[in-house]
Structure formats: structure tokens, C-alpha cells
Amino acid sequence: MKTNQTYGILFWIKKSKIKNGKAPIYCRITINGKRAEISTKRFTEPEKWSSSSSSIKGKSEEDRTINAHLDNIRSSIHTHYTQLSTLGKFITAETLKNNFLGLEEKERTLIETYEYHNSQMKDLIGIDVVESTLSKYVTVLNKLKPFLKKKYKRSDVFLKELNHKFVVDFEYYLKVEDEVSHNTTMKYIRDLKKVMNMAVTNEWIVKNPFANFKCSYKKVVREILTEKELETFANKEFSIQRLEEVRDIFLFCCYTGYSFVDVERLTPNDVVRGIDGGLWIYANRKKTGTQSNVPLLPTAQQIIEKYKEHPYCEEKGKLLPVKSNQKMNAYLKEIADLCEINKKLTMHISRHTFATTVTLSNGVPIETVSRLLGHTKLATTQIYAQVLEHKVSEDMLKLKERMEEKTTKKTEQKIKRTV
């Protein structure tokens, strides 16, 4: 039994349910501030009830019988509490109530808990959750199932069986057996820990069995297009229409910071006149749900105008003829080869390029960039500031040139004085 655990039993009458002049008597169990109620199946007149003693003040045979019944309930609950404590069980008001009533509490399992979590999250799609977030948890669940069969020869395990070794073994399985990268493995385990936190909150387990596992991430160099590569990309002429369309949509994202899921959702109605009289896009980011109002740079405006009467856009009511993410990324590889850009281009690189080459490199404050990207935390945007090595190189080169100019001027002035 935990020494700091608060525990109490209180009898009270529910006046809101008075029938035939009598109110039902209830028993309330409180443990660590959380309550559970039990009906005693007994009734009494409200005026005969003593709140201070939690008993009936009357002296009739019926009153004495009811008071004795309440004493028996109190004594029995306390006995169950002591027994559970002696066995080292995790006691909550609800578990003590069920134990007293003889209701066997169901042992929760890992897969059952995970599926419960995903089911709850699925119902929240469009409210507090986006579909892409749910898909990440579904992926982890699909990794757990084969891991359990390979490691434990079982389809499921009880939550009480989980320990630190379990998550260490899962990490090993993901990296070695499933060939998952380190950072992706850490993300999977991070999501697993979140589900376990939910189990703790729901009082299905005492503590998170993976709490001591620290998710560490390796620094990843975020690929971006340099200013020169961006220019080459924009000026390239294509004889194939699908490649030209994909190139233009990629460029649009480079100059707005929109991700694939966001640009795919845009409609002509999202383009409005801003407070400065110029064209802006007013839309919410799908991932975070935050509003991100972006002023349109000339290149982005030209692309919108170019596809204004595109058949797909007119039929679907879309701003741009965006294809599936898979096709977009596949065509970007073709475009990179044709442009002789030796980088693995994906739609997400356009977002990185906007954050770095287009904005931060041109002196846009990081707070403004963060807002344009729809980030909820400035720390997320600061990651982009760390990849601007080329900008550091350019700035240092300019500094070097200025210092050389000063040195040359000083030398010239010294020569003049000597002459």
C-alpha cells in the first residue's frame, strides 16, 4: 500500500431521487481524489439522516437495521482495501468498488489497448485529429503484431507483463529485423509510449513500463534547393505536360511553404485580398489545424494564373492540378535528372526550400517564417536555421572581402604617406 494514498468511505443520501418521501442511501469511495459510488439498496427520510455521522438518527428497529447494514458495508469495503493493499495491487476507487461487488476486473492487453486508442482517435478525425496522425499509430500497431509473434510466439500480451526489456527488444526488432531507420524507430516508440500514458490515465496500469526509455534522435541533413538550383528548376522547359505541371506545383510550394496535403486542398476561394491590398492565401494547415495566411510572391501568383482555366481545376474546383503524392514524387525524380540536380527530390523538399533558400536566406525573421509555415512551436522552425551552411559561407565570404578591402585601403594610404 502506498503511504501517500488518500482513502475514505462516505455514506450520503441522494435527495434528487426522493420517492414516496424517502431518499436512497449511497456509499462513496474516494481514493486519491477520485470517486466511485455504490447503491446500498436502502432508503430513509431526509430529515432523519445525519451527514456528520453518515447514519440515520432514528431509533426504530428499521433504522437500527439500516445503520447496521451500512456498518457492514463500510467494514467489508475496508477489508477488501486491506487485502488488495497486502497483495500489492494498484487500487483505485473503481477497482475497490468492483472488488467489493465481486466484479472481476478485466485484464487489459497491449493490442487491445492500442486498438482502443486508435478507435478513439479515428472518431476525432476532423475535430482534434488529422488522418495522417492516425495512420502513424496504425503503422506502429502493424509493427507490434509481427514482433509479438516472432519474439513471444503470441498474438498479444497483458499490460502487466510489459517492462523496459520489452521496448528494448522492440527497438532491436525494428532496426535489425524490419530495417527501420533510427529516427523512425524512435518515432514509433514515442507513439507507443503515448498509448501507454493513456493506459496509465485510464488506470489500467500503475505506471508507464517504458517511461525510462529515452527517445534520442540523430541529426538529419534536410535537403533543400539552392538559389541556383531553384533558378535552373524554374527555367527548365519540358515537352511533357505532366512534368511541367509537377514542376510548377513544386515551385508554388517553394514560394508558399505549403506541404503536399495543404496545396492539394487549396481552392480558388482560398485566394483573397490581404490587408496590404495584395493577394494572399487564407487557409488552415491540415496537420496542425492552425491558420496560416501567406502573401503570394510573384512566382506563386504567376503559377495560379497559369492554371486558372485548367480542365482539372475547373472540374474539381481546385487551385492547382495536384496529382497523388506518390506520382508527384516519382515525376520529381525525372525532373531532377533532366535538370541535372543530383538530389532526391520530394514534395517536402519544397517546404524546406521555402524555409531556407526563399525566406531565412533573404533575411526574413525566423518568427515570421514560423508563422508562414504554420508551426505551433518556434523550435520546429529553428531546425531550418541550422541547415543554412551555404548562407554562413556566403556571409563569411562577404566579410572576408570587406576585410580585404579595408586592408588594401590601409596599405594604399600607407604607401601614399610614405611617398
For the chain, report the end-to-end CA distance as a whole number of angstroms.
96
414 inside domain: no
Question: Do 152 and 233 belong to one domain?
Answer: no
411 inside domain: no
Structural domain count of the chain: 3
CATH number at 267 reads: 1.10.443.10
Give pTM, 2 decimals: 0.54
Band (181; pLDDT cuts 50, 70, 90): very high
What is the spatial distance between Cα 128 and Cα 138, in angstroms, rounded to a whole number? 17
User: Which helix (H) or strand (E) is 31 found in, with range?
Assistant: strand 23-31
Taking residue 283's Cβ as centre, other Cβ atoms within 10 Å add up to 22
Across 246-264, b (16+ Cβ under 10 Å) vs e yields bbbbbbbbbbbbbbbbbbb
Parent domain of 168: 110-201
Q: What is the structure's pLDDT at 3?
A: 44
- For 354, residues 6+ apart whose C-beta sits below 8 A from its C-beta are 253, 254, 255, 256, 257, 372, 373
Pairing of strands 55-56, 34-44: unpaired
Question: Do 80 and 115 belong to one domain?
Answer: no
What digits encode the pLDDT tens for the residues 77-118?
999 999 888 876 668 888 889 888 887 666 788 999 999 999
217 inside domain: no
Q: What is the structure's pLDDT at 293?
A: 82
Question: Do 96 and 241 belong to one domain?
Answer: no
173 inside domain: yes
What digits encode the pLDDT tens for the residues 310-368?
999 999 999 999 999 889 999 999 999 999 999 888 888 898 899 888 888 888 888 88
What is the spatial distance between Cα 329 and Cα 183, in angstroms, rounded to a whole number? 22
What digits encode the pLDDT tens for the residues 365-374?
888 888 888 7
Question: Do 49 and 68 belong to one domain?
Answer: yes
The yes-or-no verdict on residue 226 having pLDDT over 60 is: yes
332 inside domain: yes
Question: Do 378 and 309 belong to one domain?
Answer: yes
Structural contact between residues 113 and 195, judged by C-beta atoms closer than 8 angstroms: yes
410 inside domain: no
400 inside domain: no
Question: Do 238 and 190 belong to one domain?
Answer: no
Question: Do 58 and 37 belong to one domain?
Answer: yes
